[in-house]
Structure 1
Amino acid sequence: MKLSALAAFVFAGATLAAEISGGVLWNGVCSDIRQLGQAKVVIDNAMHSANVLRSGKFSITDVPPGTHILNVRAHDYLFDTLRIDVPEPGENGTTANPVVRPYISGTPLDPPSTVVLPYPVVLVPRGKYNYFTPPTSFNALGMLQNPMMLIMGAGFLMVLAMPYLMKSMDPEALQDINVNQARIQSALASGDLKGGLSALMQTEEAVPAAPSPQRAGGAKKGKRR
């Protein structure tokens, strides 16, 4: 008795399940199975799946009634995502063909699209993935516009201009700067960042404006007749 009930349950489940079949429509994007390579048609994130045969056909069995999302997993080619509505079987056990509609991933399932596609399912290759990224060419202007390059260039110019600035400074102010620089180096060597910062501030305050040169003989006298 139990075996007969189990057999009846299995038979009822097999009767409710449907088969979804179709094939790949070869075109200029992908002309045959050799270009397509190994591909699989999956429903509801691989809850049900089937491989694409050499003829381009596929058949997914034991699909329960309801709304399902069909995708093609291919390494190099892009296919449309489809919505498959499997109807409930009729009173006499007959089942109508599944209804195929276009579907955009991430959009609500309801309301369904008014566009109905033919059945069996027709899978059309829409494009080919490009995994190669061409290397960028050398751009000298872009390198010079880099902030790090600008900072390095400004530092280089300061190094070149420093001797001329030192020559135009007052000897006493130059001596104070040398003393403060020695203090900064000593503080940094000992790890005293606070003392080094204090010496740096004193160095900036000690730099006076360069005195304008004056004539030793005063103003030029008028020409003697």
Structure 2
Amino acid sequence: MRQRLSVIVGACFALLGATADASSTPAAVTDVCGRLRLPDDSKLNTTRITLDDGEYTAYTKEADGSFCFYNVGPGVHLLDVQSNHLLFSQVKVQLLNDAMDDPKFVEYPYAGAAKFPLTKLILTAHASYEFFQPKPGFSPFAMLKNPMFLMMIVSVGLMFVMPKMMEGLDPEQQEQMR
């Protein structure tokens, strides 16, 4: 029992020593800055850019589309541009402990596409979203797709066809029908 207690106490001291060593070394952080660009070089409205699904958030500050994430730690981060009007690529940002001043950027234009390494973080919009569709004009053939209209056509057709069918019957059969 005493030996087991000394093992547990020793493990606790070892764990405390390891966390003290880890917390005493300053974490390497850097700033990740870039720019959003439109194909026609027009001015960009305020757009939200996130790193790691919202862990870091930045907004375009200037009309030229520049943005910056501050105090980003090492690792592989996913950069997303969340715009209501424009479609941008996703970018993976790789920050290594020994090369924090030289981040690597890999652009993924869309799912399944080939990846492109970037030297600078400059993203160009691929397309603009079209949310609204023009209202279709009137077409008489569109009414034929309506089930109520089809039932009405069948009923009106039977109104004209039934008397013609009754004329072809024998007089005895006509009496039975009445």
TM over 0.5: same fold?
yes
Distance 1:20 1:155 in 2: 72
**Among candidates 89, 93, 103, match of residue 98 of structure 1:** 103
Identify unmatched segments of 5+ residues in structure 1: 179-225
- 2:73 corresponds in structure 1 to 64
Deviations 1:153-189 (A, max 9, x none): 23211111212222332344344444xxxxxxxxxxx
Q: Per residue, is there more helix in 1 or in 2?
A: 1
Which SS does the other structure have where 2:105 is aligned?
strand
Q: TM-score, normalised by structure 2?
A: 0.72
Which SS does the other structure have where 2:102 is aligned?
coil
Runs of 4 or more, structure 1, over 6 Å off, are: none
Distance 1:174 1:59 in 2: 91
> Larger radius of gyration, structure 1 or 2?
1
Shift of 1:62: 2.9
- 1:31 corresponds in structure 2 to 42
Identify unmatched segments of 5+ residues in structure 2: 1-18
Correspondence 1:41 to 2:55: no
Shift of 1:137: 1.4
Distance 2:58 2:100 in 1: 21
C-alpha contact 2:74 2:100 (8 A) present in aligned 1? no
Q: Which amino acid aligns with 1:137?
A: G
Which SS does the other structure have where 1:22 is aligned?
strand
- 2:86 corresponds in structure 1 to 77
- 1:209 corresponds in structure 2 to none
Deviations 1:117-159 (A, max 9, x none): 122x102122222222111111223434x26344432321111
Distance 2:117 2:54 in 1: 24
Shift of 1:106: 4.5
* Pairing 1:1-225 to 2, within 5 Å after superposition: 9=23, 12-13=26-27, 15=28, 17-28=29-40, 31-32=42-43, 36-55=44-63, 56-87=65-96, 89-90=97-98, 95-107=100-112, 113=115, 115-119=116-120, 121-144=121-144, 146=145, 148=147, 149-178=149-178
Distance 1:97 1:27 in 2: 27
Q: TM-score, normalised by structure 1?
A: 0.59
Q: Which amino acid aligns with 1:31?
A: S
Alignment: residue pair count: 159
